[in-house]
């Protein structure tokens, strides 16, 4: 039985145009909506697979605003068992704060006899891209951590994790309890079932407050990169444009 | 003193390591000529050649961490080495490439020293206070971040600095060190490495014409005309991440921030919205001709030329037109 803790984050969906909040401290999610980043969706999938195979449990944890219950519920529906929200205003938090809060919850749960054999996180958050929370948290807990892995397997109290390295696929093998940060690509995240959604509604989300004053992200401000100047020439609509396109190719010298 | 972690590839410093050294050199100059020390960890194939290369890119000394602990990779062990070298050199800045390894090792170091770290810096603004600009939201936004604790720890985003060798640099001194590494730092180490996948992306990176396709292709079967046009123009196929995530095409064809960066004479993105992460990989194309049903898609407004329409109708028409003009690839 393997109990897995998966740390997820509410992030703005950044595939469309990114806008900033008026105080330039965050991404304005009003028009784009919020989601869980791909790395974390894969971490959740791996966790659910491990729990199913070993008769274990998956607990979700997020440090963020009360609205993050939306991401916790959506993710619970994928077959997770419990969820914890450490409520905090995200712009006040830096990676060291998030790492400290996760470590704090893990320690308190352990004192109350719940251990997490494996803690999974995304390799980096889609918005802040700090690349540090998993490592800082593992350091605080004194646990070994592997990074950027795309598959994990648990057997006989041991974690085998694989990921792409500079010289080829790398394999790590280490004893539990351990921490791993997951890169997307190793598994295909599942979709929620109706039963999953119903079950997720019934789960009581444990809500906590910060255990310490945040040290913050040392952020001065966010900026948008300057837009590229463009003078686009429309060559036409639909198949009728083919002649103009062929003329362009000839002009650019790409057809002989 | 500025410490720069170097990654090697086939015995030479990686491209992004040289970019990081170029960043460090600007920083050193701004600070009135601070010395730069390079750090390499583990096996080194040709010490003299590497010392000469690193000197040419600004390193005055190379600190080489040796020992059993470094025969296979462990992020914590590399950080232990870097920590020991930083203490002995009393460096005030530690930087590394914004690569998976670079970000990992410096995050370990920052955790050990309990100081902030800025991942993927692209520029800096003065030294007091020391503020770096870094890429966030996958490159769609930039953050100005203050690094006012010592050492200042940051990694340098790839392609944000140009490699710039120095003429007539004197050779770098080679300092071999054997830092102590705790057992706990070796628990998460690589136990085996598979063979490297053949890198198929070279032809994409060097192609003069790239025909791109995104979600608009509609499925794996939607690439027939894309590949045909690429062949007619003697070019390569490049795709958006949606396409590789859905498994429609192999990853080595992906263009973008997490794919290949291309700079062809002509890029023809079809059914690609032009999200910033994709744009990051194709912005240096000389000419862009976008094909999209949505005239307002970012790719259509950023391109030099545009055709509004369904790629499944437009591409076959272009191919037919080219054939009727005697173009045969
Ligand atoms: C950290 C991070 C890294 C990323 N790295 C990359 C990367 O390296 N490369 C990359 O590409 N993306 C990357 N992305 C993803 C990126 O944000 C976008 O999600 C992706 O590029 C969108 O792909 P798309 O344009 O094919 O799909 P969509 O955004 O879905 O756009 C499809 C486009 O096709 C048009 N269309 C639909 N049907 C047709 C048709 N029949 N004919 C013509 N046009 C049609 C639509 O109008 C639309 O503009 C990254 C994201 C993150 C968060």
Beta carbons of B116 and A218 less than 8 Å apart: yes
B310 lines ligand 1 (CB under 6 A): yes
B212 lines ligand 1 (CB under 6 A): no
Which of B137, B214, B288 to mutate to test binding with chain A, by most A CBs within 10 Å of its CB? B137
Residues 297-316 of B with CB under 8 A from A: 298, 300-310, 313-314, 316
- Give residue B243 CA to ligand 1 midpoint distance, Å: 8
Least confident of A94-98, B200-204, B254-258: B200-204
Q: What is the pLDDT of residues B177-187, one digit of tens each?
A: 999 999 999 99
Residues of chain B with C-beta less than 8 angstroms from the C-beta of A118: none
Residue A70: the pLDDT is 97
Give how far A87 is from chain B: nearest CA, Å: 22
B211 near B272, Cβ under 8 Å?
A: no
Beta carbons of B298 and A254 less than 8 Å apart: no
Interface residue B181 vs chain A (CB under 8 A): no
Q: What is the pLDDT of residues A16-40, one digit of tens each?
A: 678 899 999 988 887 778 999 889 9
ipTM comes to 0.92
A253 φ/ψ angles, rounded to the nearest 5 degrees: 75, 25
Across the range B68-72, mean pLDDT stands at 97
Distances A248 to A235, B191, B263 between C-alpha atoms, Å: 9, 54, 18
Nearest by CB to B145, which of A148, A178, A220? A220
Residue B80: the pLDDT is 98
B281 lines ligand 1 (CB under 6 A): yes
Say yes or no to pLDDT of B212 above 70. Answer: yes
B51 lines ligand 1 (CB under 6 A): no
Atom of ligand 1 nearest to the CA of B294: 47
For every residue of chain B, which 3-state class applies, written as one string? CEEEECCEECCEECHHHHHHHHHHHHHHHHCCCCCEEEEEECCCCCHHHHHHHHHHCCCCEEEEECCHHHCCCCHHHHHHHHHHHHHHHCCCEEEEECCHHHHHHHHHHHHHHCCCEEEEEEEEECCCCCEEEEEEHHHCEEEEEECCCCCEEEEECCCCCCCCCCCCCCCCEEEEECCCCCHHHHCCCEEEECCCCCCCCHHHHHCCEEEEECHHHCCHHHHHHHHHHHHHCCCEEEECHHHHHCCCCCHHHEECCCCECCCCCEEEEECCCCCHHHHHHHCCCCEEEEEECCCCCHHHHHCCEEEECCHHHHHHHHHHHHHHCCCCC
Residue B197: the pLDDT is 63
Residue B66: the pLDDT is 98
Confidence of residue B158 (pLDDT cuts 50, 70, 90): confident
B284 near B267, Cβ under 8 Å?
A: no
Residue A15: the pLDDT is 67
Across the range B9-25, mean pLDDT stands at 94
B164 lines ligand 1 (CB under 6 A): no
Say yes or no to pLDDT of B162 above 80. Answer: yes
pTM higher than 0.90: no
B44 φ/ψ angles, rounded to the nearest 5 degrees: -125, 130
B295 lines ligand 1 (CB under 6 A): no
Confidence of residue B199 (pLDDT cuts 50, 70, 90): low
Give how far A250 is from chain B: nearest CA, Å: 10
- Give residue B279 CA to ligand 1 midpoint distance, Å: 10
A126 lines ligand 1 (CB under 6 A): yes
Q: What is the pLDDT of residues A141-185, one digit of tens each?
A: 999 999 999 999 999 999 999 998 888 899 999 999 999 999 988
What CA–CA distance (Å, rounded) separates B96 from B87? Answer: 17
Per-residue pLDDT tens, chain A, 256 aa: give them: 999 999 999 999 876 678 899 999 988 887 778 999 889 999 999 999 999 999 999 999 999 999 999 999 999 999 999 999 999 999 999 999 999 999 999 999 999 999 999 999 999 998 999 999 999 999 999 999 999 999 999 999 999 999 988 888 999 999 999 999 999 888 989 999 999 999 999 999 999 999 999 999 999 999 998 776 678 999 999 999 999 999 999 999 998 6
Atom of ligand 1 nearest to the CA of B239: 11
Beta carbons of B75 and A246 less than 8 Å apart: no
Residue A118: the pLDDT is 98
Confidence of residue B245 (pLDDT cuts 50, 70, 90): confident
B20 near B163, Cβ under 8 Å?
A: no
Nearest residue CA, atom 7 of ligand 1?
A: B256
Interface residue B43 vs chain A (CB under 8 A): no
Give how far B218 is from chain A: nearest CA, Å: 17
Helix (H) or strand (E) run with residue A109 in it: helix A95-111
Nearest by CB to B302, which of A147, A172, A230? A230
B82 near B179, Cβ under 8 Å?
A: no
């Amino acid at each position: 039985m393997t109990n897995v803790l998966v740390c997820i984050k509410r992030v703005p969906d950044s595939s469309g145009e990114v806008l900033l909040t008026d105080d330039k401290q965050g991404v304005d999610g009003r028009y784009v909506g919020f989601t869980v980043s791909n790395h974390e969706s894969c971490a959740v999938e791996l966790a659910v697979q491990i729990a199913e195979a070993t008769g274990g449990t998956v607990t979700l944890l997020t440090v963020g605003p009360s609205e993050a219950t939306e991401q916790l519920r959506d993710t619970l529906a994928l077959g997770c068992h419990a969820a914890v929200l450490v409520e905090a205003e995200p712009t006040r938090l830096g990676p060291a704060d998030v790492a400290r809060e996760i470590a704090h919850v893990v320690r308190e749960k352990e004192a109350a006899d719940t251990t997490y054999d494996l803690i999974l996180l995304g390799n980096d958050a889609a918005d802040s891209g700090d690349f540090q929370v998993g490592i800082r948290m593992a350091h605080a807990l004194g646990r070994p951590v592997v990074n950027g892995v795309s598959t994990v397997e648990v057997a006989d109290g041991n974690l085998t994790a694989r990921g792409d390295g500079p010289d080829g696929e790398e394999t790590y093998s280490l004893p539990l309890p351990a921490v791993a940060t997951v890169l997307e690509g190793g598994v295909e995240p599942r979709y929620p079932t109706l039963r999953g959604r119903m079950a997720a509604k019934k789960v009581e989300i444990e809500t906590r407050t910060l255990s310490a004053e945040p040290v913050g992200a040392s952020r001065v401000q966010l900026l948008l990169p300057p837009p590229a100047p463009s003078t686009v020439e429309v060559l036409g609509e639909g198949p009728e444009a083919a002649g103009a396109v062929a003329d362009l190719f000839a002009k650019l010298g790409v057809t002989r | 003193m500025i410490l720069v972690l170097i990654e090697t590839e086939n015995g030479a410093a990686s491209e992004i390591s040289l970019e990081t050294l170029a960043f460090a050199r600007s920083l050193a100059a701004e600070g009135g000529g601070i010395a730069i020390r390079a750090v390499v960890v583990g096996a080194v194939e040709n010490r003299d050649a590497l010392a000469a290369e690193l000197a040419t890119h600004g390193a005055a000394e190379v600190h080489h961490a040796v020992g059993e602990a470094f025969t296979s990779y462990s992020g914590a062990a590399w950080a232990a080495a870097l920590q020991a070298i930083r203490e002995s050199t009393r460096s005030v800045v530690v930087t590394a490439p914004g690569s998976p390894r670079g970000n990992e090792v410096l995050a370990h170091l920052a955790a050990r020293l309990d100081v902030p770290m800025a991942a993927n810096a692209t520029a800096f603004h003065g030294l007091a206070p020391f503020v770096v600009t870094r890429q966030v939201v996958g490159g769609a936004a930039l953050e100005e971040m203050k690094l006012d604790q010592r050492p200042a720890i940051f990694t340098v985003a790839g392609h944000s600095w140009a490699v710039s060798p120095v003429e007539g640099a004197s050779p770098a001194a080679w300092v071999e060190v054997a830092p102590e590494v705790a057992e706990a730092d070796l628990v998460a180490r690589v136990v085996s490495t598979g063979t490297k996948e053949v890198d198929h992306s070279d032809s994409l990176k060097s192609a003069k014409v790239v025909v791109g396709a995104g979600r608009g292709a509609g499925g794996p079967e939607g690439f027939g005309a894309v590949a045909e046009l690429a062949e007619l123009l003697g070019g390569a196929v490049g795709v958006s991440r949606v396409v590789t995530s859905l498994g429609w095409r192999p990853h080595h064809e992906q263009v973008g921030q997490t794919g290949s960066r291309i700079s062809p004479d002509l890029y023809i993105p079809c059914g690609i919205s032009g999200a910033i992460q994709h744009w990051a990989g194709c912005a240096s194309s000389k000419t862009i001709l976008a094909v999209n049903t949505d005239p307002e898609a970012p790719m259509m407004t950023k391109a030099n030329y545009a055709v509004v329409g369904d790629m499944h109708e437009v591409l076959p028409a272009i191919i037919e037109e080219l054939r009727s003009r005697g173009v045969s690839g």
